[in-house]
Amino acid sequence: MRGDRTAAAIHRAALQMTDEFGFDGWTMDHLAERVGVSRRTLFNHVPSKMDAVLGPDHEPDPELGATFVGGGPTGHVGRDLGVLVRTVLEAEKMDHDDLVLIRRVLKTDKQVLDAAHARFEKATAHFAEVISQREGDQMTPELAGVALRLVIVVFDAALDAYLANPSAGTVADHFTRIFDDLVDLF
């Protein structure tokens, strides 16, 4: 538990410093000093400066992927994709102030935006492959990639809704509402 708090403090401080000074305006030594940990402790939690800013680059849960590929949990690919994303969103502990800060940093620092985009492309390729495994010839990796880009649009709308009115539910709640409406539309 203490390690989780330290990792969260590192991530928050890296975001704050990037917001204040830009990505190139601080060093890992500055970050360690701000968090109050040694450089060694810092690198035990994050492998790089960009990982400190973006947070951990989680590998997808293989059990979730296996359930999805096996046709679950509902048997409808669209709804199951929504459940998969909601599960990922619920696993992330997203604080309102941190989300505001993350969004601001992404809008103002191109290096961070480019790195976040690279992570998105990696995740999109993985999930497109998982969708293709499930759907076979019925869905090409390209079409799966388009579906995942729609998921990102829905996530962005959910994030906007949450930031505008955090008392109306979590980001995951907003995502589910908007995504379910989109699935019903098609």
| 176 and 151 assigned to the same domain | yes
50 and 64 both lie in a single domain: no
Structure tokens that stand for 101 in this block? 């800060």
Sorting pLDDT into bands at 50, 70 and 90, what band is 2? low
Say if residue 62's pLDDT is above 80: yes
Q: Which domain holds residue 42?
A: 1-56
The string over 81-97, giving b where at least 16 C-beta atoms fall within 10 Å of a residue's C-beta and e elsewhere, is bbbbbbebbeeeeeeee
Same structural domain, 85 and 163? yes
Handedness of CA 31, 7, 124, 181 (dihedral sign): negative
Number of domains in the chain: 2
Q: Do 145 and 81 fall within a single domain?
A: yes
This prediction's pTM: 0.83
> Residue 66 sits in a domain of what CATH number?
1.10.357
What angle (nearest 5°) sits at the alpha carbon of residue 166, between those of residues 162 and 172? 50
3-state SS, residue 22: coil
What rounded mean pLDDT belongs to the chain?
A: 90
Query: pLDDT value at position 111?
Result: 97
| pLDDT at 61 (0 to 100) | 80
> Domain boundary residue among 14, 38, 56?
56
* Contact assessment for residue 30 and residue 17, using Cβ atoms and an 8 Å cutoff: yes
Residue 1 has pLDDT above 60, yes or no: no
Label residue 10 by pLDDT band (50, 70, 90).
very high
150 and 75 fall within a common domain: yes
Q: Are 85 and 127 in contact (CB under 8 A)?
A: no
pLDDT band at 137 (very low <50, low <70, confident <90, very high): confident
Q: Is 42 in the same domain as 64? A: no
Most confident by average pLDDT, 26-35, 141-150, 175-184: 26-35
Residue 70 pLDDT exceeds 90:
yes
